[in-house]
Structure 1
Amino acid sequence: MSVSKPPLPQSHIPSPASSNHLTIPPPSMPSSTSLAPSSTSPNPPAASLPPPASPVKISMQEHFAINVCPGPILPIPQISDFFPRFHDFPIAPLPPREKKILRENGEPEGEKDEEKEKERREENGEDKGDLGDSDDETYLGTLEFSLLFDQENNCLHCTINKAKGLKAMDSNGLADPYVKLHLLPGASKANKLRTKTLKNTLNPVWNETLVYHGITAADMTTKTLRLCVCDMDRLGRNEFIGEVRVALKKLREGESKKYNMGLERIAQNKESNNQTGEQGGPVAEEERGRILVSLCYVAEKSSLCVGIIRCAHLAAMDSNGYSDPFVKIVLQPDMGKKSKYKTSVKKKTLNPEFNEEFLYEVPKDQLAKKTLEISVWDYDLGMSNDFIGGVELGINAKGERLKHWFECLKFAGKKVEYWHTLTQQGAPSSD
């Protein structure tokens, strides 16, 4: 028994042409035909109608492309769009450097002018002072300060005003800055001065004056002042931010000079070591320290008043880099206990201030034959004291030491103060 299936409708059987193309229905009649008045001809004849439009056929690929990419096709970005130096075309070479015309003596024409301009900027304190708008990662900030040399009192006044735009050193994006000063060449702890620390700021304002005592005119010709800006860290080691250096030979006596300089990361160069080695003996004597002594002969009491005011830049004798200094004075020839005096001990310092006076009862005619021995010692508990340096004042002395003694005898009743360099010569046999 056979069952015949009914034939499928003709609409469900795809034609061979429909497998590759889609048929778009013809467009609708124009709106003008539909809006024609019905009074003239409600049913217009077929001859007046336009022929039906043939269906538009598009390929299946175009159909998929239209559905997937409805918008305009954009070019794919290339790496050269982000990094122009990777372009295929060659980059124009840099222009050649201009050759400097040599003068008769063989020196380039522009080199001398550049050196003069650099010296002028250093003298005016304009060296890297306008770096506030710089985007360079090496920018560390600027430091404003002023220097004044008082030759009469042998003092160098350093006023630290403020800093701007310091580099952030802490995790909060700020810093705890302070300024540390050194005189080069010389022992770092013997001539170190430091400002107070300001918390959480990149634009600190100190307005603090630090004074170096015992600075002579000869020191101003050879010394360089180094100013370091550091960040204080309680839990770890203090961090270095930047520094500036000023040659003191360009500073005139009695003139307060202002500086605004950019901080730099300058490592310890060999210039300071070379200067120390070239000068040799005088630097070694200076590193023992200096002492400020006042002498005054009081005629009413027939006594010599010796004042021990202060010491500066003493040599370090203890393992911590400091000393516990005190001063002994002896008037020779020895007059027993009345000829020996000793100051108090100042703990852990290389720049002690004593301000102590001692009287020797001696006639003026005998004073010319006397010699005053001054020695500085480092106090050690339970051990022998260490000799730091000494100086002798008397008729047999030379240079500034003889001049000091002579003025004391000449101007009775007048207090005469002099700075003297401590040396190892004439060290007492015992303390």
Structure 2
Amino acid sequence: MFWGGEIASALSHPHSLHLEVWGPGASVKRAMNGPSQETQGTRASAGPVSSISPISSSHRLLFSAQGLKPMDHNGLADPYVKLHLLPGASKANKLRTKTLRNTLNPTWNETLTYYGITDEDMIRKTLRASEALAVPLTTAPARISVCDEDKFRHNEFIGETRVPLKKLKPNHTKTFSICLEKPLPVDKTEDKSLEEWGRILISLKYSSQKQGLLVGVVQRAHLAAMDANGYSDPYVKTYLRPDVDKKSKHKTAVKKKTLNPEFNEEFCYEIKHGDLAKKSLEVTVWDYDIGKSNDFIGGVVLGIHAKGERLKHWFDCLKNKDKRIEPWHTLTSELPGAVLSD
């Protein structure tokens, strides 16, 4: 059912994810990772959108729209776009554009970036986009929504659409033309253990020279906000389990007031290569608080008892001595067997 406008999307994976919102009959021209692409129709008058350079392990989205549904008394709207990734209902994976005033043909000319998209995400996740008039952000997970902002009332929903990430191919840009729909239901029975609290980039290398495991805490992205100011003061702790002597703890510096910190710190665990097969690496992320207990944000466990990409990362490290393996991992709120106290 047609609802409030149409979306024409140009998406690519794994280095960049582009999405453009256009109105009926609009034309999209791009210069993204190769030749430009064009949909049929009349060229939109909002102007061209510049090309975007790919960023490793990230997905980028860029928006413009035409022919939106009028929402205000003046026959116009104050639209913005919201993005969520489903499943994974947390504020960490919600993005939104700026609000543009008094227009039915907005061109945002801004890029929203999802860092740390993994192969598992490409299989199981859906990008949900909604357009609304500017209002308080909803808590519905992973969608592309278009909204209308209202200073004196609740923001009004215009329409939304969803794009499964598995429709994208590596290093290939794909264009979609999709009508906006009414709000679609969200699965509220989702396993809470899968709730996401951000992403973390971890590097592993077994050094023959140092006779030890080098663990690099590189950066984190889209963390959950734990403080009243909408930010966190994050730091990272690592343990090599089992830790009988309780001497394996390492901790990074605290990064103040950020949800996308860069650490670039590396720790060394002196251990024989053959003993690593019996070990697990526990990585937890915390919010530093003064005068009270620090808040647990999320974590990940790599090792022989892990699954999916976490298990693959560990085995790739064991099989490739002196080679740095550096993928992104999703932080979760529950770590079986982990000690979640600071």
TM-score (norm 2): 0.67
Q: Hey, what's the Cα distance between the residues in 2 that align with 1:262 and 1:394?
A: 44
Alignment-derived partner of residue 362 in structure 1: 270
Partner of 1:262: 179
> Structure 2: any 5+ residue segments left out of the alignment?
17-55, 135-148
User: Cα offset for 1:164?
Assistant: 0.5
Greater fraction helix: 1
Partner amino acid, structure 2, of 1:252: L
1:207-246 alignment runs, 5 A limit = 207-232=109-134, 233=149, 235-237=151-153, 239-246=155-162
Q: Distance in 2 between matches of 1:419 and 1:231?
A: 34
Equivalent position of 1:192 in the other structure? 94
Measured in 1, the distance between the counterparts of 2:184 and 2:210 equals 55
Cα displacement (A) at 1:365? 4.0
Residue 148 of structure 1: aligned partner? 12
Confirm or deny: 8 A CA contact 2:120 2:309 kept in the other structure. Answer: no
Change (3 A) 1:248 1:199: same
CA distance in 2, matches of 1:412, 1:221: 30
Per-residue CA deviation, residues 288-338 of structure 1 (Å, 9 max, x unaligned), is 554331112344444533222344565665678875443211345377777
1:430 aligns with 2:341: yes
Answer with 1 or 2: which has the greater Rg: 1
2:61 matched to which residue of 1? 158
Letter of the aligned partner of 1:159 in structure 2? L
Q: Matches of 1:365 and 1:347 in 2, distance apart?
A: 38
User: Which one-letter code corresponds to 1:158 in the other structure?
Assistant: L
2:320 maps to 411
d(CA) in 1 for partners of 2:178 and 2:273?
Answer: 58
Could you give the per-residue CA deviations for residues 66-100 of structure 1, whole angstroms, max 9, x where no partner exists? xxxxxxxxxxxxxxxxxxxxxxxxxxxxxxxxxxx
Distance 1:245 1:307, change over 3 A: same
User: Is residue 166–residue 203 contact of structure 1 (8 Å, CA) maintained in 2?
Assistant: yes
Matching residue of 1:393: 302
Change (3 A) 1:198 1:257: same
The equivalences for 1:11-410 within 5 A come to: 128=2, 140-150=4-14, 155-160=58-63, 162-170=64-72, 172-232=74-134, 233=149, 235-237=151-153, 239-248=155-164, 251-254=167-170, 255-264=172-181, 266-269=182-185, 272-273=186-187, 276-277=188-189, 280=191, 284-311=193-220, 323-332=232-241, 333=243, 339-345=249-255, 347=257, 349=259, 352-360=260-268, 362=270, 364-365=272-273, 368=276, 371-394=280-303, 397=306, 399-410=308-319
Deviates more, 1:327-336 or 1:190-199: 327-336
- Pairwise CA RMSD: 3.7
In structure 1, distance between residues paired with 2:338 and 2:228: 22
Structure 2 CA distance for aligned equivalents of residues 365 and 188 of structure 1: 38
Shift of 1:361: 5.5
Q: Partners in 1 of 2:76 and 2:335 — Cα distance?
A: 48
Shift of 1:217: 4.2
Aligned equivalents of 2:222, 2:193: Cα separation in 1? 12
- SS in structure 2 of the partner of residue 382 of structure 1: coil
Aligned residues: 284
Matches of 1:371 and 1:412 in 2, distance apart?
Answer: 17
Question: 1:390, 1:425 within 8 Å by CA — same for their partners in 2?
Answer: no
Q: Which has the higher contact order (CA 8 A, sep 6+)?
A: 2
By how many angstroms is 1:357 displaced? Answer: 2.0
**Distance change (3 Å), C-alpha of 1:158 and 1:415:** same
- Residues 309, 157 of structure 1: alpha-carbon distance in 2 compared, 3 angstrom cutoff: same
* TM-score normalised by the chain length of structure 1: 0.55
